[in-house]
Structure 1
Amino acid sequence: MTPHPIQDAVLRVDRLSVVYPGGVTALRDTSIAFRRGEFTVLLGLSGAGKSTLLR
């Protein structure tokens, strides 16, 4: 598969950080790109930030 530049992304998240009240960091400086025709799977332990990223 030929790599695509990030500018070709259909949806791009760039340097997202989420901190909940009380100072709990859910995501820190997270970036991801979703491209047309690709399948993306988010895997991780409970509490790793998967649902937070999708929200």
Structure 2
Amino acid sequence: MPDIQSEAAGVQAHYAAQVAADLETNRKEQERVGVDVAALKEQLQGWRATTRCC
């Protein structure tokens, strides 16, 4: 039976790796959303310029 300390260390290592992976996923998603927002803003400005609306 593994001792409690080595089992806890394994759980901590797994948790740390998962948190790091989640943070990286979030960073990439934020970057993608930022690019999408910038493109939508540019598109909106183009529409406003051609329709003289809003």
TM-score clears 0.5:
no
Given the two structures, how large is their TM-score scaled by the length of structure 2?
Answer: 0.20
The structure having more radius of gyration, on CA atoms, is 2
Given the two structures, how large is their TM-score scaled by the length of structure 1?
Answer: 0.20
Structure 1 or 2: larger helix share?
2
Structure 1 or 2: larger strand share?
1
